């Protein structure tokens, strides 16, 4: 049982709990209501460490999922999907399907990043004119704005239902590294962007260069970055999995 000073906190605390027997890869810290916390195995301490920002009772359990529609995907995509779903960061579209080829929206990415960071704050608010308080992702979007991970547009909209592009998801994922781990973007972005055959949008260049340097970008066989390409759930899972390995 974990009692936090204000019941709900803006930033998480890291707790370490004894691991369960067996393979720790898909073990997670899970609240009594079944919600998995962002957590991972700590090989040095042999514990499961999780990011908790709400009071409650938690336990460590094997939380591996199974999906019937990912068998034809790459080994890395399958691993990313199973890992992230075990940690409660991303969910399947049903108990048995993940729908890796479905598109993924800006508001969904906001939720995934905030879950990964353990920073979904149910007291956070936002003034975006197109994000009603009745939205199930309202607090995740508000939290992403508070932590300056995903920005809105100049007309004060968030456009959360828009499908997120590759340039956008790489940019917002890249922002996590400086804010969480004090990474610095490359001084010479061209050293990393020149490997792409096409032009990376100006707003994204700094974070794409950082993400390229740190191995977050999934390379295309044609050598293009293709920043305007819409992201699928499976592609997003790979980027978020690579990011998750660097943010503890």
CA distance 171 to 209: 9
Region 141-166 average pLDDT: 96
pLDDT of residue 200: 98
pLDDT of residue 193: 98
The H or E element spanning position 41 is strand 38-42
Region 170-197 average pLDDT: 96
Judge whether 138 and 132 are in contact, CB under 8 Å.
yes
Residue 10: pLDDT band with limits 50, 70, 90 = confident
> pTM for the whole thing?
0.94
Q: Distance of alpha carbon 245 from its chain centroid, rounded? A: 11
pLDDT of residue 171: 97
Give the lowest-confidence range in 46-50, 99-103, 244-248: 244-248
Q: Is the pLDDT reported for residue 99 higher than 80?
A: yes
What residues does 165 pair with on adjacent strands? 230
CA distance 184 to 169: 18
Judge whether 144 and 114 are in contact, CB under 8 Å.
yes
Residue 16: pLDDT band with limits 50, 70, 90 = very high
Q: Is the pLDDT reported for residue 72 higher than 80?
A: yes
What mean pLDDT is reported for the chain? 96
201-241: pLDDT as tens digits: 999 999 999 999 999 999 999 999 999 999 999 999 999 99
pLDDT of residue 6: 78
Q: Is the pLDDT reported for residue 8 higher than 90?
A: no
Q: Is the pLDDT reported for residue 126 higher than 90?
A: yes
């Amino acid at each position: 049982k974990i009692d936090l000073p204000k019941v709900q906190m803006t930033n998480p605390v890291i707790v370490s709990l004894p691991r369960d027997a067996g393979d720790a890869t898909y073990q997670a810290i899970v609240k009594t209501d079944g919600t998995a916390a962002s957590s991972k195995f700590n090989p040095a301490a042999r514990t499961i460490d999780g990011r908790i920002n709400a009071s409650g009772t938690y336990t460590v359990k094997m939380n591996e999922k199974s999906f019937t529609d990912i068998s034809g995907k790459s080994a890395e995509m399958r691993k990313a999907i199973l890992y992230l779903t075990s940690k409660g960061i991303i969910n399947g579209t049903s108990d048995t399907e993940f729908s890796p080829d479905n598109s993924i929206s800006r508001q969904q990415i906001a939720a995934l990043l905030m879950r990964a960071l353990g920073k979904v704050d149910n007291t956070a608010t936002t003034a975006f004119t197109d994000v009603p308080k009745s939205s199930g992702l309202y607090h995740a979007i508000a939290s992403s704005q508070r932590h300056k991970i995903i920005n809105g547009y100049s007309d004060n909209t968030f456009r959360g239902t828009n499908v997120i592009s590759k340039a956008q998801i790489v940019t917002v994922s890249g922002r996590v590294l400086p804010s969480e781990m004090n990474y610095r973007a490359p001084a010479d972005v061209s050293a990393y962007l020149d490997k792409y055959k096409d032009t990376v949008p100006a707003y994204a260049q700094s974070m794409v260069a950082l993400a390229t340097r740190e191995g977050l970008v999934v390379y295309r066989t044609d050598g293009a970055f293709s920043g305007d390409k819409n992201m699928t759930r499976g592609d997003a899972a790979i980027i978020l999995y690579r990011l998750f390995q660097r943010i503890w």
